[in-house]
């Protein structure tokens, strides 16, 4: 039922392109484990062993914090429509902020999105598929516009203020690196 391979195949890349949601998991050696759902056309396959995703402003900044300390990351996709499948990508990840050249280089892969704060790059070490037969069938209706609307209404200065208030310290009390501070 399940398979382990070293790289994404073209059929798995097609599967990824059809998905509306993915899940990202990170953890430091101790403390809180983070698992976040992501969507909004924010994922790109760069090569069979490299993916990137656009990280939008949120209520916390756990993923970026964890990756500064322990660069391990798992990304999971599930088929909620059609043939069942769970796809997991395991690898080492890096965080790029608007101040970084790599962020600017990768930004062109995504539609203009208000509130983008980081781009996460992952080098894939392992690709795993499993059956997904217990994943429920659900029909996709539409992406929510709420986050985009919220970010537009905040404006640049409002987003900056929000990041200063909500995104500088992780749940476990570690600096997130959002403004260049070191862990």
pLDDT, tens digit (0-9, with 9 covering 90-100), for 43-61: 999 999 999 999 999 999 9
User: Does the model's pTM come out above 0.75?
Assistant: yes
What's the Cα-to-Cα distance from 168 to each of 21, 38, 101, 118, 172, rounded to whole Å?
A: 26, 20, 21, 13, 12
What pLDDT digit, counting tens, does each position of 160-169 carry?
Answer: 999 999 999 9
pLDDT at 181: 83
Token pair 């539409």: residue = 142
Mean pLDDT, the chain, rounded, equals 97
Q: What is the pLDDT of residues 136-154, one digit of tens each?
A: 999 999 999 999 999 999 9
> Domain 3-133+142-166: which topology?
Pnp Oxidase; Chain A (2.30.110)
Give first-to-last CA distance, the chain, whole Å.
41
Quote the Cα angle for 76-78-84, to 5°: 140
pLDDT tens readout for residues 16-46: 999 999 999 999 999 999 999 999 999 999 9
What is the Cα 92 distance to its own chain's centre?
Answer: 13
């Amino acid at each position: 039922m399940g398979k382990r391979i070293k790289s994404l195949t073209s059929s798995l890349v097609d599967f990824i392109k059809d998905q509306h949601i993915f899940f990202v998991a990170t953890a430091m050696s101790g403390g809180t484990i983070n698992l976040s759902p992501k969507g909004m056309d924010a994922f790109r396959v760069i090569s069979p062993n490299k993916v990137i995703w656009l990280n939008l402003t949120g209520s916390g900044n756990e993923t970026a914090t964890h990756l500064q300390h322990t660069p391990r990351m798992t990304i999971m996709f599930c088929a909620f429509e059609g043939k069942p499948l769970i796809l997991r990508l395991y690898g080492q990840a890096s965080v790029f902020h608007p101040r970084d050249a790599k962020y600017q280089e990768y930004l062109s892969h995504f539609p203009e999105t208000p509130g983008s704060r980081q781009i996460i790059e992952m080098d894939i070490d392992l690709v795993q598929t499993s059956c997904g037969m217990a994943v429920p069938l659900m029909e996709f209706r539409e992406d929510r516009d709420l986050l985009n609307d919220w970010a537009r209404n905040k404006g640049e200065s409002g987003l900056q203020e929000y990041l200063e208030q909500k995104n500088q310290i992780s749940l476990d009390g570690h600096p997130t690196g959002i403004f260049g501070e070191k862990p």
